[in-house]
Amino acid sequence: MAKDILFLNLINGCNLACDYCLVRKDREEMSLKTMLTSLDYFLDANKGLLHIDFFSCESMLRFDLIKEAVEYCKPRANKDQLLSFSIITNGTLFDDKKLDFIEKHPEVCLTISLDGTEESHNCHRKYKDGRGTFKDTIKYIDRLVDMNTVFSLVVSSETAGRLMENIAFLNSLGCKKLILQFAVTQQGWTKNGVDTASDQLRRLAHFYFDNMRPNGGMDIFLIDFMVKTLERRREIDTPSDFERIVCSTLRRERAISVSPSGKVYPCLGLSSLADDNFCIGRVDDTVRLGGEECFYRKILPGFTENYSNGICRSCAVRDFCYLRGCPVVRIAGLFDDMVFSRIKGMNMVCELYRLLFREVKEVYRVSFRESVLNAMTAPL
């Protein structure tokens, strides 16, 4: 069942200086009034499954607003509304009181960035004075694991050779849910980094099927989604398949994103551009929308045409790609201007997604054949 989503970008600021982060940081912050007005609009306009996503440079810098939002929404929701919340954070700003609050509200889901072992994590995830953040990130790791926290692991050219080591480390901590991503950085991926990652991805595919999947171990969302695609016995190669991309905007679900200044966009990614061409409304005393039809009538058709006929059309992994397959990249003209001019190694990142899918597909087919053979030879 689809859910309606409200993205609240509480602050364009962070306490870290991760060198692979491309998010702008101007310290603009959302006011309490803007947040409450946005919540009122969202709750009044929707019913069913409702999700509120606190997604900022570092959301925990405004935990006061998060706490206010949860306490405000729960008694205000009616019997036809089922609320959930999510917080994406670097994990360095927790204390016992904050975790106590989150534990008392199981409808709040945490996603924490943890890139593996101390050496791998501190390679990129540092404070502004250069200190590594690993020890502060794992300070409350036992509580966080017990709270069913999702962990996000970013693989870079520098850490690619330790991918399996890092996943094994997270598994040893008790992590059950993992988001795996490849870094897109100004430094870019080297050919050696891609070659090193290729071997690690091959090992990961085998490890996933041999250990994690049959034993109820860690869910790796990217691989899980690839496997579900294979289980549907479908390849992603027809123009109509763009509708299945993991993007609420393209599915035309009711998803809006509110920037710290109160501007409304169709998704979080478009709001991060701070481009008024993609602004569909504004929050002041009320939420005023006026640009949705223009967006869906003029902008989306152009994107879907590019998506169906352009460079991504024949790519086996375009359904999983958050780079070229994202409307922010394609609609906003970032495909050429940003991705290939400012960010190095984009083609190599695409190749990593394709490599992983090929390995998952091959191991899946072998696993499927073996399961069929075992079923056929099993005694009745």
Mean pLDDT, rounded, for 341-348: 56
User: pLDDT band at residue 254, thresholds of 50, 70 and 90?
Assistant: low
Q: Which percentage of the chain shows pLDDT scores above 90?
A: 45
Q: Which percentage of the chain shows pLDDT scores above 70?
A: 72
Higher pLDDT, 275 or 226: 226
Mean pLDDT, rounded, for 107-132: 97
Domain spans of the chain? 255-344
Which token pair is 81? 């509304």
C-alpha separations of 273 from 59, 84, 182, 186, 331 in Å? 18, 26, 21, 18, 12
Q: What is the pLDDT of residue 339?
A: 40
> Tens digit of pLDDT for each residue in 168-223?
999 999 999 999 988 876 566 877 888 899 899 999 999 888 876 666 778 998 88
> Tens digit of pLDDT for each residue in 40-78?
999 998 889 999 999 888 999 999 999 999 999 999 999
Res 374 pLDDT > 80:
no
* pTM metric for this prediction: 0.86
Q: What is the pLDDT of residue 69?
A: 98
CA distance 31 to 41: 16
Q: Residue 1: which of 71, 82, 78, 76 has the closest Cα? A: 82
Q: What is the pLDDT of residue 243?
A: 41
Listed in order, strand segments (DSSP E) in the chain are 4-8, 48-54, 81-89, 108-113, 150-155, 177-182, 219-220, 255-258, 263-265, 281-283, 287-289
